[in-house]
Amino acid sequence: MTIKLSGAPVCVVGAGIMGAGIAQVAAQAGHAVRLFDTREGAAAAAKARMAGALDALVAKGRMSADAVQALLARITPIATLQEAAGVALVVEAIVENLDAKRALFAQLEGLCDASTVLATNTSSISVTAIAGGLQHPGRLVGMHFFNPVPLMKLVEVVSGLQTEPAVAEALFELSAAWGKTPVHAKSTPGFIVNRIARPYYAETLALLLEQAATPAVLDACLRGAGFRMGPCELMDLIGHDTNFAVTNSVYAANFFDKRYMPSLLQAEMVAGGLLGRKSGRGFYSYRDGKPENAGLSVAVTEAPATAREVTVHGEGPIADHLEQAATAALAPQGWGPARLRNSGWTGLEVDGARLMLTDGRTATELAADLQRSDIAVFDRPFSTAPGTAVAVAVAESCPAAWRTQAHAWLAALGFAPLPMADTPGLVVARTVGMLINEGADAVLQGVCTPEGADAAMKLGLNYPAGPFEFLARWSVAEVTALIDTLDTHYRGERYRLSPWLRRRALTTKNA
């Protein structure tokens, strides 16, 4: 069965933030759109607001006045749902409540013929549950847009257990025709984006709870890895109430799997009304929309001392960069570093003291294993641009001199060292590792493909790379080892390794 929706009349139900955006995008693509809302006058008001926003685009020369007029002429506010009869597609964007959505679709089934496709823009309710009880549940599908709809490219096309593949395919094609990038998803808690993103917040909240680093340090480290906003500033922007509610809904929908457990710290912030920007205080305090306490203290106080022997250990691009940078740093003294490729670790050795790329173990654990105290670990850099923020920690017993020298060497190698408590996986390695792990589980469960996960995270949340693109820049064996180490360290369900990664790690090893 092929379903053709291009150019067909569409009805959007719910004229709030999302419904208005969906109506605009559909009308822009040439569809006649009927817009309905139970609140009297809401559909007409939404159209008037849209006209205002589009006029601003005309003033900026981004759209012609004729195009705006034609677009608006295609949108008809309707006063009763009965006027939806005869459309080929209904997109629902009403209140996020299962009973309300079910009642609406039941009513629509009585009005529309059996071939009408029914789409829901739900962000958290099971598509299977919304379709349950319908006479033709196969024609109901999730069409999850992101806010603001006219700007955000991603649409998660969400299939419930009974959604007919042809219906999902038709909405996939339609979304593409509307200028969006659709990604197929299976109806599971959080779908793709809201699920895979959980560790971005959870790891930072866990580190804050352990007092491992300040919000400013955590944000700087993740911005250094290419994320547009650090997790603390992002949670402050989203609002802790909203972010906490999404985490809670994913947690509850997974039958309270501890892997998704919300944070005590965030619960306290919500309870105390520290909601972020909108309340004036979250992790940061805001005055005139600007954070007041986001400053960083710089750790570098001296240059690397003269050494007798400097060796770069390890293979791969990070070790190559370290070698290049150490060579440049030592050149004025007329000598260069040695290179040992097969020593089993990556980093720098200076007269026996070590600055080691994190493999998940703390510096203190490494010091115990190696039986020496002058051990520092640094976070995984995903950029080698000069001044990239990189977290660094030292062993409990580390002498003060090596602590200072480890910072000095990191700075000499081109990074901005940010000291933090000696915590497994530091900041970036642990966060990105867990994003990869969540993506791997989503793929294992057939929620999406690796390509779908990458596209969704980049387009839905502006991530610099998707989880599988990060994995390609790292290695399955190293990510697996890091998460296993976190699992051993914390002994909880959060760091349960995805079987998808375990299988890959074994296959790669045996290949």
* H helical segments located in 338-427: 363-370, 400-412
Evaluate whether 461 touches 222 at the Cβ level (below 8 Å). no
Bond into 304 cis (ω within 30): no
Please report, as a single letter, which amino acid is at residue 362.
T
Residue 7 CB, nearest distance to ligand NAD (Å)?
Answer: 25
Q: Check if 124 is active-site.
A: no
Evaluate whether 348 touches 377 at the Cβ level (below 8 Å). no
Among 28, 76, 116, 123, contact with ligand NAD (rule: CB under 6 A): 123
Evaluate whether 430 touches 203 at the Cβ level (below 8 Å). yes
Residues in the chain: 511
Exposure string over 459-481, b if 16+ CB within 10 A, otherwise e: bbbebbbbbbbbbeebebebbbb
For position 37 contacting ligand NAD by CB under 6 A, the verdict is yes
Evaluate whether 159 touches 185 at the Cβ level (below 8 Å). yes
Three-state secondary-structure class, residue 50 = helix
Q: Please identify which of the residues 92, 109, 121, 123 carries the catalytic annotation.
A: 123
360-363-364-366 Cα dihedral, nearest 10 degrees: 70
Q: Which of 156, 154, 263 is nearest to 199 (CA)?
A: 263
Residue 218 CB, nearest distance to ligand NAD (Å)?
Answer: 25
Residue 51 CB, nearest distance to ligand NAD (Å)?
Answer: 17
Exposure string over 280-310, b if 16+ CB within 10 A, otherwise e: ebbbbebeeeebeebeeeebeeeebeebeeb
**Closer of 91 and 435 to ligand NAD (Cβ):** 91
Residue 334 CB, nearest distance to ligand NAD (Å)?
Answer: 60
For position 17 contacting ligand NAD by CB under 6 A, the verdict is yes
Q: Where are the beta strands (DSSP E) in 175-279?
A: 181-186
For position 42 contacting ligand NAD by CB under 6 A, the verdict is yes
Residue 407 CB, nearest distance to ligand NAD (Å)?
Answer: 42
Among 71, 87, 88, 104, contact with ligand NAD (rule: CB under 6 A): 104
* Interaction pattern, residues 310-349, with ligand NAD; x per rule: CB under 6 A: ----------------------------------------
CA distance 348 to 337: 9
**Closer of 149 and 329 to ligand NAD (Cβ):** 149
**Closer of 116 and 214 to ligand NAD (Cβ):** 116
Q: Check if 194 is active-site.
A: yes
Q: Check if 156 is active-site.
A: yes
**Closer of 130 and 418 to ligand NAD (Cβ):** 130
CA distance 126 to 116: 21
Region 69-98 residues binding ligand NAD, contact defined as CB under 6 A: 93-96
Q: Which residue is nearest to ligand NAD (CB)?
A: 16
Residue 152 CB, nearest distance to ligand NAD (Å)?
Answer: 9
For position 383 contacting ligand NAD by CB under 6 A, the verdict is no
For position 435 contacting ligand NAD by CB under 6 A, the verdict is no
For position 147 contacting ligand NAD by CB under 6 A, the verdict is yes
List Cβ neighbours of 491 (8 Å cut-off, separation of 6 or more). Answer: none
Among 10, 12, 13, 234, contact with ligand NAD (rule: CB under 6 A): 13
CA distance 482 to 373: 22
For position 122 contacting ligand NAD by CB under 6 A, the verdict is yes
**Closer of 13 and 87 to ligand NAD (Cβ):** 13
Q: Which residue has the tokens 């007798």?
A: 308
**Choices 3-11, 116-124, 168-176, 246-254; region in contact with ligand NAD by CB under 6 A:** 116-124
Rg (CA), the chain: 26
Residue 19 CB, nearest distance to ligand NAD (Å)?
Answer: 6
For position 19 contacting ligand NAD by CB under 6 A, the verdict is yes
Q: Please identify which of the residues 194, 263, 437, 498 carries the catalytic annotation.
A: 194
For position 118 contacting ligand NAD by CB under 6 A, the verdict is no
Evaluate whether 289 touches 224 at the Cβ level (below 8 Å). no
Evaluate whether 386 touches 364 at the Cβ level (below 8 Å). no
Q: Burial, 114: exposed, middle or buried (Cβ in 10 Å; 0-12, 13-18, 19+)?
A: exposed
**Choices 9-17, 166-174, 203-211, 266-274; region in contact with ligand NAD by CB under 6 A:** 9-17
Q: Burial, 331: exposed, middle or buried (Cβ in 10 Å; 0-12, 13-18, 19+)?
A: exposed
Q: Please identify which of the residues 144, 184, 240, 313 carries the catalytic annotation.
A: 144
Among 1, 4, 6, 39, contact with ligand NAD (rule: CB under 6 A): 39
**Closer of 145 and 468 to ligand NAD (Cβ):** 145
* Distances from the Cα of 494 to the Cα of 71, 199, 437, 483, 509, angstroms: 48, 9, 10, 10, 25
Among 121, 247, 263, 431, contact with ligand NAD (rule: CB under 6 A): 121
For position 140 contacting ligand NAD by CB under 6 A, the verdict is no
Q: Check if 478 is active-site.
A: no
Residue 78 CB, nearest distance to ligand NAD (Å)?
Answer: 11
Q: Please identify which of the residues 31, 109, 126, 156 carries the catalytic annotation.
A: 156
List Cβ neighbours of 336 (8 Å cut-off, separation of 6 or more). Answer: 326, 327, 330
Catalytically active residues, by annotation: 123, 144, 156, 194
In the complex, the residues that contact ligand NAD under the rule CB under 6 A are 13-19, 36-39, 42, 93-96, 100, 104, 121-123, 145, 147
